[in-house]
Chains A and B, each alone.
Chain A
């Protein structure tokens, strides 16, 4: 393994990949068959289509402690089911733009398109994304214990008292 996933504490991070069966999963498979070296932090979950990927899968993974989530499917226009990835594109983009309000770093979530023949592109995608997640480090967890006392600096927002509403 190249030293690209050399964390200071020596560990791997948890990256979840949701890949469509027809393009990206085959592309990843082809990259494996061709022995294109990749970091091993990514755990791949195969789905029939990016249209099957509920944005809640991604949120659930992030909240459960995934350090990164990578979604990949057929290029727009090449969907096996014709329009699955067109629907996915809107959902994934919406999620990506909403994420910052939750405090979850939107850089921890990436969606892209990789076809079955693009094994080199797959290798590059995995390398880049893994390197980025390693640069960000382990994700903060909701489950880490924090004090129950109120964060006073944010108190003013509670009832939106100055200047009104959201």
Chain B
């Protein structure tokens, strides 16, 4: 039995005890997947697993707290589940986790950049380390590394790190390609250059909040401080400075909690490289508190705890 069939079987068996299981189904063409909310055995037939299953379904879990929910997770998605559990935002007893070993997902932004436009795709299929795609009657065969999500290039945890059912074989983590990361390259720029870069990027932001809404760790929803009038940290004006303030709120609220899933950057319709800010925050909190989010269910949030003597913080007196 292949991975998909094994997964479907697991879900069908578990479904009677659950309110719903979340997975993916094909969207309007073979390149786009869309979340699938399975309530009946027939729904399970539509499940797909593969390089188009880009969304992290963990984002829906906190709002479903109280229901009995199943969720299909890739390696990166599973870290969000672990982090949500560690913050007591989910009940483990009400959750059934269906894990599998992920082989990388596509980045529609990178693909679009390669192909110019992404109109209707007749077929898209991953064959070993290539993506074969038929677009406007033309066959294209692209190296997967050129069009996969950036996070997949350096992914060290392709297998769900927490699961009740694991379908198919464990994948071997890939050895990250040599060379500088985007963050390292960005940090070669001077401070004024960085500031101007963000100024230009923030003028492009349309404040759609897709970055926030796709973030599995952004759980405040309607109570988000970015839209509250009291306190009024940021105005609704979509100017560069207000947009930047909003981004930095996201970064600060995610410090020590961000699981590096890349959903914010993927969801951004303006292709703003939001991952740079998150990568920096992760680097900082890992160095300061020697802990990475989403790996340990028992972990305490670093910014909700302290040591009387902080080894990593220079005393200021």
Measured CB to CB, the residues of A under 8 A from B are 55-56, 59-60, 63-64, 75-77, 83, 86-87, 89-91, 93-95, 97-98, 100-105, 111-113, 140-144, 146, 148, 150-151, 154, 156-166
Contact = CB atoms under 8 A, between A and B. Distances in A.
Contacts of B194: 100-103
B11 to A, nearest CB: 31
A150 B200 contact: yes
A142 to B, nearest CB: 4
Contact of A154 (B146, B197, B279, B310): B197
Given A90-B288, A104-B191, A59 B248 contact: yes
Contacts of A101: 183, 186-187, 194, 276-277, 280-281
Contact of A94 (B178, B239, B303): B303
Interface stretch (B19-27, B28-36, B89-97, B147-155): B147-155
Contacts of A77: 308
B308 A76 contact: yes
A112 B317 contact: yes
Given A90-B306, A113-B316, A60 B181 contact: no
Contacts of A151: 196-197, 200
B240 A143 contact: yes
Interface string B180-202: 11110111010111111111101
Most buried by A among B146, B149, B151, B185: B185
Interface in B118-137: none
Contact of B181 (A63, A146, A164): A164
Nearest to B225: A56
Interface stretch (B48-56, B106-114, B164-172, B207-215): B106-114
B48 to A, nearest CB: 24
Given A86-B306, A111-B316, A164-B177, A159 B110 contact: yes
B275 A160 contact: yes
Interface residues of B, number: 78
B60 to A, nearest CB: 25
Given A89-B313, A162-B179, A164-B154, 5 more contacts: A112-B316, A143-B239, A159-B107, A161-B110, A165-B275
B84 to A, nearest CB: 21
B288 A86 contact: no
Contact of B182 (A91, A93, A146, A166): A166
Given A90-B303, A103-B194, A163 B177 contact: yes
A166 B176 contact: no
Most buried by B among A86, A89, A102, A165: A165
Contacts of B150: 159-160, 164-166
What 10 pairs between A and B have smallest CB-CB spacing?
A: A103-B195, A165-B150, A164-B153, A103-B194, A163-B179, A142-B241, A166-B279, A101-B280, A86-B306, A160-B182
Nearest to B200: A151
Interface stretch (B2-10, B66-74, B249-257, B291-299): B249-257
B186 A102 contact: no
A157 B180 CA distance: 11
B186 to A, nearest CB: 6
B262 interface: yes
Contact of A166 (B200, B276, B305): B276
Nearest to A95: B252
Nearest to B179: A163
Nearest to B183: A166
A162 B284 CA distance: 24
A142 B316 contact: no
B252 A55 contact: yes
Contacts of B302: 90
B153 A102 contact: no
A60 B248 CA distance: 9
A165 B198 contact: no
B276 A63 contact: no
B163 interface: no
A113 B149 CA distance: 45
Nearest to B309: A76
Nearest to A65: B241
B291 to A, nearest CB: 12
A97 B288 contact: yes
B245 interface: yes
Contacts of B151: 165
